[in-house]
Structure 1
Amino acid sequence: MGSFGAESPLIAGRYRLDFRLGRGGMGTVWRATDELLQRHVAVKEIHVGEGLPESDARSQRERTLREARTVAQVRHPSVVVVHDVVEEDERPWIVMELIVGRTLADRIAAEGSVPPREAARIGLALLGALREAHRHGVLHRDLKPANVLLEAPAGRVVLTDFGVARMDGGTTITESGTFVGSPEYTAPERMAGTGAGPESDLWSLGVLLCAALSGRTPFQQDSLGGVLHAVMAGDIRPPEAARPLLPAILGLLERDPARRMGAAEAEGR
């Protein structure tokens, strides 16, 4: 379904789907119209429960709705605003503000690496977003350039796609028993299966800054096995372009989460 006519689907009796913006492993994002408030929104259809026994699928949907509503409590200028969380056709749908702009990944692909001052601005915005999310017990777990939006024309930095987010003590949204996230951006403790905390998101931010400044991560390899080895045991060599932000990046890329630089210290660097 790429676009619709006059009879396009109406979600929760209110949100009329206009056309599909994108699709990933965790869900499909639609541009939609909120017919009650007469505004455009983004609606994410979460893919959960597919292929599971009905009892397991129901439990997963209920957990997803509960956890998505917790994510909706996170309020920060650099966190995408969640307007509503509903269930339709036995699927959870998350209604969010519609951001007009492009992802950081698209920006890097189109124009190359980001200047240090702009990378610092993006990093500070994301640190603020993560601190607020962590205050609510929410871990993002998939921080990467494709999940960072740069709103046009002002360039507001917005962290989005909490599709694999996790609440402290909870399970993953759309948990399927498989690894979730992006290996090059995933902290060593998550790779080792020893758990994840706010420190894991901060590692991902350090990798993201390297990618923004040079166009690639320090762990880019030709195979998944190579990536895993690079993250877990390889030499960490931030790119030369990262020199202006090197103290913060090296602190964030400390393999031992107990010694990793915290958000407050990184903001001061």
Structure 2
Amino acid sequence: LNSVPDVDGAIRTEALAVTYYDEYYPSLAVMMVARSLNLTAKDIKIRPGEALQIGNFRVSADPTMQMFTYFYKDRDGRSAIQEDSFYDVASGKIPLEKYRDKIVLIGPTAAGVGSIFVTPVSPAMPAVELQAHTVSSLLQGHFFVAPTWGWVVERAVYLLVAVYLIAMLPRLSAGLGAVVSAGIVAVLVATHFVLMTGQGIWLQFMLPLALLVIGHVLLVTKRFVVTERGKEVSDAQSAANARMLGLAFQGQGQLDMAFDYFRKVPLDDTLMDNLYNLALDFERKRQFNKAEAAFSYMADYNPKFRDLQARLSRARQMSETLILGGAQTHPGGTLALGGGAEKPMLGRYRVEKELGKGAMGVVYLGKDPKIGRVVAIKTMALSEQFEADELAEVKERFFREAETAGRLSHPNIVTIFDAGEEHDLCYIAMELLKGQDLAPFTKVGSTLSTDKVVSIVARVADALGYAHRQNVVHRDVKPANVMYEPDSDTVKVTDFGIARITDSSKTKTGMVLGTPSYMSPEQLQGQKIDGRSDLFSLAVSLYQLICGKLPFEGDSMAQLMYRIANEHAPDILLYHPSLPPALVAFLDKAMSKDAGERYQTGEEFASTLRGTVGGPSAAAIGAGVDISL
């Protein structure tokens, strides 16, 4: 009697009172609310078409005395209205104390028993649960009302939206119009929800909202169609101007500018001819990487244009091909060669591409075609970088480096395969290393675990100990000269580029070679050094790899040198409080100012270091054997 379904069959409203022979009678839900408030029917006042008063509690209603019920959604799969089995209550399984001071509704909920209703939250809600939602809505004030004046506001909003679309939007730019329309949409949506959630008033703003969105889209589409025709004419004129400017720049030899303007022109067969000629000009200037870019741009439009694929392949090959040395070499030592598909050779190695710049010059990726060995080729265009009176000494130094490094054969030292001179280039072919150096792991927050650092540094110490037994001092031990490959846990010491043979006349005293922050005091003072200097540098590297801080820093070279020579390193526990005491003591000894107080050999350094974290002792480590924690 109280529930009248909407056109879609769902129940959304509840009659607060019904009329019978011109008399108003409160609904069951209203009576239950009144009883729960210790009120009677006499305390219920009905104001037809306006509201219903239950004592001091006022419930707004529409002209037909209907209220929009708030239906509570299920939470975590459980009904918002608690349901208990009547049998469990009657049998005493559920104590009656549970229902003290609560409203209890009794009714059937099983399927096929009693009436069921379609609601916004359930397709089959029992009548007793429907009443529970209504009672809860009344008691908590969770209900909505369509006021009698609502239609006036709705039509006024509809009219204002129409005026905006007709009179204002056509005068606004596309961007500003979108912002204003979006603002109106936001205001309508916000007003709708504020009135519903704050005041329980339902105003239907969906129609003006739909009008605004559809009208805006239609007007913008119309504007686009009209203006696009004018834009096509303007674009055609701009394209013609860009083509002429491109041809002018090409004629002046400014090929980069010409390419920039050609790319502003829509691609067609005529422009393809222009781009093809431009790419050929790039080739003539031996700028094969730019020729490749031009050919690639053309291939996106028509990959079958003339001999485009062959030209593109050749340009790509030439941009990766390096011709080194001779009069063709610029100061950097590299130049791409046109006119041939073969890649240059250094000795028996075919040069594939440049890898980067090393301490002695350019480093290339090379390959021995006979055995398929891939190597790193370290080169230096000596004739381009040194005067004639210095060239002989520099070449001697270069091959001394190769001789020094070539004498070392250890699993933790990079292997040297070959050395030679060709096209005024001295080169060393060495093992191609995987992984990366340790420099990225020297920053706070990027350090490796202490066990891993100890494992790596101990292996570096083994390698240095071996080199020292061969009378070779590295002189530039630092994280950047240690390569680490995590997958295979491989450690390699690299760049013996400033190493010297300590027992020959080739060594010069008084020369400061290396990286200052890692130098030993005696190295900074220009004294003749031995392997203990390398171990000091390794201890500094260990300190930095553990805590991400250098032990010695200064605002100037003089200040840095003073601190290395005279001051103790900051307590590493300030940066890494959990370090084992044995490791802290190890660092203190390893960075002693007096070389005689440090560890005297790499083997002693490695063995003691491993012992600080429970690693294998020296007795368990064979000479030259790689040990991993």
TM-score normalised by structure 1 residue count: 0.88
CA distance in 2: counterparts of 1:110 and 1:159, whole angstroms: 23
| 2:449 is the counterpart of 1:115 | yes
Secondary structure of 1:157 counterpart: strand
Question: Does the aligned pair in 1 maintain the 2:459–2:606 contact within 8 Å?
Answer: no
Q: Which amino acid aligns with 2:416?
A: V
Question: Does the aligned pair in 1 maintain the 2:572–2:584 contact within 8 Å?
Answer: no
RMSD between aligned residues: 2.6
Which residue among 413, 424, 427 is the counterpart of 1:93?
427
Question: Does the aligned pair in 2 maintain the 1:49–1:56 contact within 8 Å?
Answer: no
CA distance in 1: counterparts of 2:512 and 2:543, whole angstroms: 23
Secondary structure of 2:476 counterpart: coil
Q: Which amino acid aligns with 1:253?
A: M
Q: Which amino acid aligns with 2:604?
A: E
Secondary structure of 2:596 counterpart: coil
Aligned residue number for residue 44 of structure 1: 378
Check 1:46–1:170 CA distance in 2 against 1; reply closer, same or farther (3 A cut): farther
CA distance in 2: counterparts of 1:109 and 1:223, whole angstroms: 21
Check 1:145–1:48 CA distance in 2 against 1; reply closer, same or farther (3 A cut): farther
1:1-269 residue pairs with structure 2 within 5 A?
Answer: 4-5=320-321, 6-12=341-347, 14-46=348-380, 52-108=386-442, 112-168=446-502, 169-171=504-506, 179-240=512-573, 241=576, 243-244=579-580, 245-262=583-600, 263-269=602-608
Check 1:105–1:55 CA distance in 2 against 1; reply closer, same or farther (3 A cut): same
Secondary structure of 2:375 counterpart: strand
Secondary structure of 1:216 counterpart: coil
Check 1:55–1:230 CA distance in 2 against 1; reply closer, same or farther (3 A cut): same
Secondary structure of 1:232 counterpart: helix
Secondary structure of 1:22 counterpart: strand
Q: Residue 264 of structure 1: CA displacement?
A: 3.1
Question: Does the aligned pair in 2 maintain the 1:42–1:96 contact within 8 Å?
Answer: yes
Aligned residue number for residue 283 of structure 2: none
Q: Which amino acid aligns with 1:265?
A: E
Q: Which amino acid aligns with 2:468?
A: H
Q: Residue 252 of structure 1: CA displacement?
A: 1.5
CA distance in 2: counterparts of 1:48 and 1:155, whole angstroms: 37
CA distance in 2: counterparts of 1:238 and 1:101, whole angstroms: 32
Question: Does the aligned pair in 1 maintain the 2:382–2:395 contact within 8 Å?
Answer: yes
Q: Residue 107 of structure 1: CA displacement?
A: 3.8
CA distance in 2: counterparts of 1:45 and 1:178, whole angstroms: 24
Secondary structure of 1:85 counterpart: strand
Q: Residue 32 of structure 1: CA displacement?
A: 1.5
Question: Does the aligned pair in 1 maintain the 2:483–2:493 contact within 8 Å?
Answer: yes
Q: Which amino acid aligns with 1:4?
A: E
Q: Residue 58 of structure 1: CA displacement?
A: 1.5
Q: Residue 152 of structure 1: CA displacement?
A: 4.5
Q: Residue 97 of structure 1: CA displacement?
A: 0.9
1:70-121 Cα shifts (integer Å, max 9, x gaps)? 3212111100011111122333211111111111113445961222111110
Q: Which amino acid aligns with 1:266?
A: F
Question: Does the aligned pair in 2 maintain the 1:67–1:167 contact within 8 Å?
Answer: no
Q: Which amino acid aligns with 2:513?
A: V
CA distance in 2: counterparts of 1:42 and 1:192, whole angstroms: 35
Check 1:98–1:51 CA distance in 2 against 1; reply closer, same or farther (3 A cut): closer
CA distance in 2: counterparts of 1:46 and 1:247, whole angstroms: 44
CA distance in 2: counterparts of 1:109 and 1:21, whole angstroms: 25
Question: Does the aligned pair in 1 maintain the 2:438–2:484 contact within 8 Å?
Answer: yes
Q: Which amino acid aligns with 1:264?
A: E
Q: Which amino acid aligns with 2:529?
A: A
Check 1:246–1:76 CA distance in 2 against 1; reply closer, same or farther (3 A cut): same
Q: Residue 26 of structure 1: CA displacement?
A: 2.8
Q: Which amino acid aligns with 1:162?
A: F
Which of structures 1 and 2 has the larger relative contact order (alpha carbons within 8 angstroms, sep 6+)?
1
- Structure 2: state its 5+ residue gaps: 1-286, 290-318, 322-340, 609-629
Q: Which amino acid aligns with 1:246?
A: V
Name whichever of 209-218 and 57-66 sits farther off: 57-66
Check 1:62–1:147 CA distance in 2 against 1; reply closer, same or farther (3 A cut): same
Q: Residue 124 of structure 1: CA displacement?
A: 1.1
Q: Residue 220 of structure 1: CA displacement?
A: 2.5
Question: Does the aligned pair in 2 maintain the 1:4–1:17 contact within 8 Å?
Answer: no
Greater share of helix residues, 1 or 2? 2
Q: Which amino acid aligns with 1:249?
A: L
CA distance in 2: counterparts of 1:214 and 1:47, whole angstroms: 40
- Structure 1: state its 5+ residue gaps: none
Q: Which amino acid aligns with 1:207?
A: V
Question: Does the aligned pair in 1 maintain the 2:416–2:431 contact within 8 Å?
Answer: yes
CA distance in 2: counterparts of 1:9 and 1:111, whole angstroms: 44
CA distance in 2: counterparts of 1:38 and 1:49, whole angstroms: 31
Q: Which amino acid aligns with 1:210?
A: Y
Secondary structure of 2:320 counterpart: coil
